[in-house]
Structure 1
């Protein structure tokens, strides 16, 4: 493939990717789409892109991109990804992959019928500590990993209404549904480390103490069991009044443990039995960077640092373009995207049944 033509849907959120695609030597941004004409015009001016659209399908048909980045509100991710896949246009989709079981099946079917690549843009797996822990897991430092947890504590009440007081999509789709509606930032890294899909889930909540207006309970706990019995705990809270803490992670194995920083200024710590003589000796995670951090992360290129998230955005785009070019498999293909999305969909029925354990479908069997 020659220079890859890239289009964006939802310019406010997708602007985080602009720099990464502009800096990539194989890509060119050719079109932008957004229903807000003012936002669209501002993005066009900032990027120098002149093909601007307010109708998504029209952009796909007229601009004829090779790739589309779907960064619209989450209820549009599956329909817009499917529309692109049906045109054999590669898709990088924001999270979550879909908002219903029907959409999940339609999206998997579209991926199977299309010659295009689908990848979900779960950027938390590209955070440097997550990458380092994964490399250490693969090297066997933690032994057999059997427990992981992730927490996404992000008070978003300011985004539930427009300045004019109208409910936004988040009001309906994130906190307007009870259950783990937005689990992928927590599940993503845990699944990278555990390397098994969630087979069963149980979901419970605290009740509604902050604002009874919303269907979602203030704090949601999602427990995921793999077929071999490994356990993942996810805490999701987008309502409680508290400082943000969106990257709380823990990993436990037979030979070691990782405890991520929970507050600004804190460090990530590990205890590894083969390295720590004292059974109570914690070691800073960065101690293991020189030996285990992937080479490209040790001395990231200048363009990576320009792209944001400490290089994560650049590496995510680089992986996606490598998949489009056939150099590697997509990091989060349709089935891994389902592994991160389906537990949240099943959780909505589990919490309705008082935390009953329910099976999570395996999209590979559809």
Structure 2
């Protein structure tokens, strides 16, 4: 049986090559309000059916939908798709309000459809290598991690890339739902991989702080936002989001600290992934850096055996393996790798962060999306 996939959002085709490489899977439909663009993209990628109306695509015989539209459409379209009997892979973030996250969780539970958030930074090879090393106990007990997303996106906030003056009269959705928000509006790239390293833990509370407005006062988003997530275990994760400052991009910086060693991703200027682990014959071995490549034998087998075609799918092969996991979940071979509960919790960091930074860094409790069974349990405590 061939799994037929439709993609909504013709400018978000990062999963397309992965679907093309997986047997018994075919992208048969593409939907976008821009009629000319959707026709052009479908012709370029040999997609047979195009739609401008999302409901029309849902009425077709597709089995699954990839939601790659702007953030504010993710939950409405995911819910529509699941209610129409389709499985869903949604781009990040999962939603833009707390109510949406509860609707999303409830829809997954009532429809029984597969829902998976497409947080492809979890699938970056180095992040998978660290995850496997955590599982092997090489870091001992992990207790602190960091993630940073440094990416100047100001030019994407307007339809035409003009700086200043009347040229800024055509704001895009990013002007409102990203740079129009305070706090860690886009946390999942930074948070997702680190949360997976803290095996089975959950976020208990969120506190967020901003630097103020210095670089570009057109935007409500502050130059830098720092968010502290305290886990149920008491351990800490620190997130930095900076999409305003004038600096080189660094969208995948991570650190991890455990009782037996630590890891740091590159900072730039020739830096490399590095690791320091305690050794049996050197009590101070954890104070010496080694390149992460020295531990390549801990890379998961499917990454070590990946073909050049798989690696070319994007994000160093991550865009292939995330699709592979989604298809496997549809077939019932495994649970979704990033399920609706992960999606809601990681996304809720953005929403709680906004409230926290607007209240002087006040700590807010994270609702328990996995275990909350009633409306009364859908609460946030200050």
TM score, norm. by length of structure 1 = 0.96
Between stretches 341-350 and 321-330, larger displacement belongs to 341-350
Are 1:136 and 2:136 an aligned pair?
no
Are 1:183 and 2:182 an aligned pair?
no
1:97 to 84, 94, 98: 94
1:299 to 292, 301, 305: 305
> Counterparts of 2:345 and 2:135 in 1: how far apart (Å)?
20
Show the counterpart of 2:32: 34
What residue ranges of structure 1 are gaps of 5+ in the alignment?
Answer: none
> Counterparts of 2:274 and 2:17 in 1: how far apart (Å)?
32
Q: CA deviation at 1:306?
A: 3.0
Q: CA deviation at 1:287?
A: 0.8
Are 1:117 and 2:122 an aligned pair?
no
1:150-198: CA deviation from partner (whole Å, max 9, x where unpaired):
0000000110100274100110000101111100000001101112111
**1:1-366 counterparts in 2 under 5 A?**
2-13=1-12, 15-61=13-59, 63-163=60-160, 165=168, 166-195=170-199, 196-263=201-268, 265-274=270-279, 277=282, 278-279=284-285, 280-290=287-297, 292-366=298-372
> Counterparts of 2:135 and 2:360 in 1: how far apart (Å)?
37
> Counterparts of 2:230 and 2:112 in 1: how far apart (Å)?
33
Secondary structure of the residue aligned to 2:105 is helix
Q: CA deviation at 1:264?
A: 5.2
Secondary structure of the residue aligned to 2:144 is strand
Q: CA deviation at 1:275?
A: 6.3
Q: How many residues align?
A: 362
1:227-251: CA deviation from partner (whole Å, max 9, x where unpaired):
1110000000011111101011000
On the 8 A contact 1:95/1:120 being kept in 2, the answer is yes
Secondary structure of the residue aligned to 1:119 is strand
1:100-122: CA deviation from partner (whole Å, max 9, x where unpaired):
01101110111011121000000
1:12-39: CA deviation from partner (whole Å, max 9, x where unpaired):
11x2211111111121111100111222
Measured on the aligned residues, the alpha-carbon RMSD in Å equals 1.2
What residue ranges of structure 2 are gaps of 5+ in the alignment?
Answer: 161-166, 373-382
TM score, norm. by length of structure 2 = 0.92
> Counterparts of 2:270 and 2:323 in 1: how far apart (Å)?
29
On the 8 A contact 1:200/1:358 being kept in 2, the answer is yes
> Counterparts of 1:338 and 1:275 in 2: how far apart (Å)?
41
On the 8 A contact 1:160/1:167 being kept in 2, the answer is yes
> Counterparts of 2:174 and 2:296 in 1: how far apart (Å)?
38
Q: CA deviation at 1:365?
A: 2.5
Structure 1 ranges of 4+ moved more than 2 A:
274-280
On the 8 A contact 1:20/1:303 being kept in 2, the answer is no
> Counterparts of 2:137 and 2:77 in 1: how far apart (Å)?
40
Secondary structure of the residue aligned to 2:11 is helix
